[in-house]
Amino acid sequence: MNQHTDTAMLWANYHTHTPRCRHAQGTEREYIEAAIRAGIRTLGFSDHAPMLFDDGFVSDFRMLPEETEDYVRTLLQLKREYAGEIEILIGYDQNVITVANAVQASITSHLESMTGVKVAVVNVNVCGITR
């Protein structure tokens, strides 16, 4: 492999959604296998975190609160299954406007308890990346 090709390679993708956020298609397994075929070494899942609105509004681009546990459980199982082939990170996309919401604190706490890893804001868009 020449130096130009090597430096142009995408080694990681930290922003992968699943169909739970209503604007992605395919399964987590399909994304993982495509990433492996592309030579990606680290794949970070970051679905839009659920949010409850006081007026009962349901977002059309976030996972629902009841989908959070399946999201984490599915990705933890795939992380174990693909260990040694690709590093899989589990997190969620945290939109800036919702950072102070008490529901988000509850979701963060739940993610920490399920993964055993401290969740921290990584940047303004992605929250909860775990190793």
**Is the whole-model pTM more than 0.85?**
no
Residue in the block written with tokens 């040694």: 84
Domain that holds residue 101: 3-130
What is the Cα 107 distance to its own chain's centre? 13
Digit-by-digit pLDDT tens for the chain (131 residues) are: 434 444 556 788 888 989 898 888 899 999 999 999 999 999 999 888 887 777 888 878 888 888 988 998 999 999 999 999 999 998 888 765 544 455 566 666 766 776 666 655 443 344 444 44
Q: Which amino acid is at 78?
A: L
**113 C-beta neighbours (distance < 10 Å), count:** 11
Alpha-carbon span 130 to 58, nearest angstrom? 27
- For the chain, the domain total comes to 1
Q: How far is CA 68 from the centre of its chain?
A: 11
Question: Whole-angstrom Cα distance, residue 107 to residue 26?
Answer: 24
* Residue 66, domain CATH: 3.20.20.140
